[in-house]
Structure 1
Amino acid sequence: MPQTETLMRVDAQDTDEIHWWRQLPDGNRVATWSARQKMNGAARAMLRAGALAARARAGFYGARYEQEADAFLERVTFDESPGLPPRSAPVRTRTGAGAARGARASDAQAQADPVGGRTLAARIPVAGGREEAVALYRALRAAREAVSLHRSSGAMEPFDAAVELGVSHELMEALLQSVRGSEGVRVTVGWSRLSGPPPDCPRRPAPVVFTPGDQAALQQAAHRYVTIEPSQAVRLTGDVVRMRRSEPDGPGAVRLRVRDGAEVAQVRVWLEAEAYRIAVHAHLAGLPLLVSGQLESRGGFRRVSGAHGVAPVPVEAAERERLMKSLGEGLDGFGRALGTSGPPPPAPPAAPAPDGGRRG
């Protein structure tokens, strides 16, 4: 009776499930700590790639949408156990259009080695996770098709077309991580019994299989996605959190915590001397900084080049006047950046020259 109650509670959960099965070579059938870590890391990386694809389509995301992907992973629960994959069989694959048929045929033709693999399941709540699960499912199938077409023709165009279906550098790297050191990996998606399958998705999707023979294609695609991803023109607002320059009056680097205008948490910006001075005063006044430039794809969209239009974010008139008074003398350039005009504040009276305590 207790077992029945437990099963009823599990079935009542409105979650989609993703199962991974990684087949280990004959000489490595003991699931070591290293193998376990590799599988867990690869599964999380695939889920992250699905979360990124649910936000936008890109061949390379870098640091973009990191916070959203992290928040999604917090909602996912994992269940790890060694043994058989769902509807398991030795991992096989084919190139060309018959890849999916080969995966289904292998399920019916062979029995799995009970100690030859390791399974991992991820449970994704439908509320707050269905979009990411669907994005990963479609991206995996598109990646499998692109790899098969590339292996049969040598063309890279299938990978370019697959970007619109959610395939990315991040997904390629996750698949490479899962395949290396194994005889193959099988990924199966199961939709929630309560909510049913999403629109335009089969009720029981066929597993997607990748093998060591796919590594060359995966590596080429991963490299291609990074090299062809363009930089992004941005106009962002952020808080100054770090500043550094080698000369007191020269240019320097500023790190901003992004408020809006870019899908990254922080960026590094190189500023010329005048712009750096404005950033210093904005930081001292507790004001956000407005910067325009190119968010560079090289380095993962973490750096803005060609910075221009550097200015503190405007504030209310009364607040602006208070800030200007608190900043004191010598900030007329800062005032112009804020949109304030008028004569500079009076200079403080000159201190008397020291006379050693004696009167002349």
Structure 2
Amino acid sequence: MEVAKVLHMNGGVGETSYANNSLVQRKVIYLTKPLRDEAITSMYNNTLSKSLTIADLGCSSGSNTLLVILDIIKVVEKLCRKLNHKSPEYMIYLNDLPGNDFNTIFTSLDIFKEKLLDEMGTEMGPCFFSGVPGSFHGRIFPLQSLHFVHSSYSLHWLSKVPEGADNNKGNIYISSTSPLNVVKAYYKQFQIDFSLFLKCRAEEIVEGGCMIITFVGRKSDNPTSKECCYIWELLAMALNDMVLEGIIKEEKLNTFNIPIYYPSPSEVKLEVITEGSFVMNQLEISEVNWNARDDFESESFGDDGYNVAQCMRALAEPLLVSHFGEGVVKEIFNRYKKYLTDRNSKGRTKFINITILLAKRS
């Protein structure tokens, strides 16, 4: 599997699109807003730059993409008024893999700019937008060009399926039944990818610049903990059922692994310290229900299983289609929904989020 070619969220605005199934991600953006506001305030107070370059890595598409950018600009504009400082020019880089639905983003930019001007109520510096297709597991921006880097729910994706995970039979991610070598292979790939990510961003961020990152992670030091693995174990159960019924070949399942890793706080800290380009100023842990509609709506919309299955389909469908073919995807998620409904009937289950604020070392 060439991850860079097949990993992207479902595009468009249809029923299974990421745009219509990303409430979990939106909830996390709201939860991390105080830390993000604090970071941009401190950075801008220290630089008072005439131009401000902001990059959102793993931006995807839909309303969440520009929500973060809107918040950041509003914070800077309020600071400018308070300090009686001329509004800066904004250069906004939106990055994701080439398969991302950049067209949907671009068609919404005029509405975004109108909304921004309406909310601010006064003239402000111009905003220039660029889409930047490419993997953030390598260099994607010019040297010392970025002031503020944001990434939410992206860095847990790996650059490739770990080498040495080919005996993870019956599983699609780490689980309690995974051989030890598989667990080690996943962690090693996370170390390689995150270290390279930090090295590349250190070359691209200006002195005094900073970066805020949110991963899906885990509190436990055990990488097979159900708090990080269970949502994928349930999908594996659905796939195993289809193998038993002859719908999917066993070999196909045994050669499929999700290129993702949910780290612990200690694992994240270790890589930051080991790579050495950044100082970690803060680390926060937050939680959000698998079914984020519990947090946004007083009345349920559909059932829990349906909502969570739609969320997972929006992000995993391209990987499944690439490996198993398009013809079985609907059946996979119908079965997955039943497992999710049964699990959620026994109590709410949550994603664990790790948010870190990093400042570039001078």
- TM-score normalised over the length of structure 2: 0.23
Task: Select the structure that is richer in helix.
Answer: 2
Structure number with greater Rg is 1
- TM-score normalised over the length of structure 1: 0.23
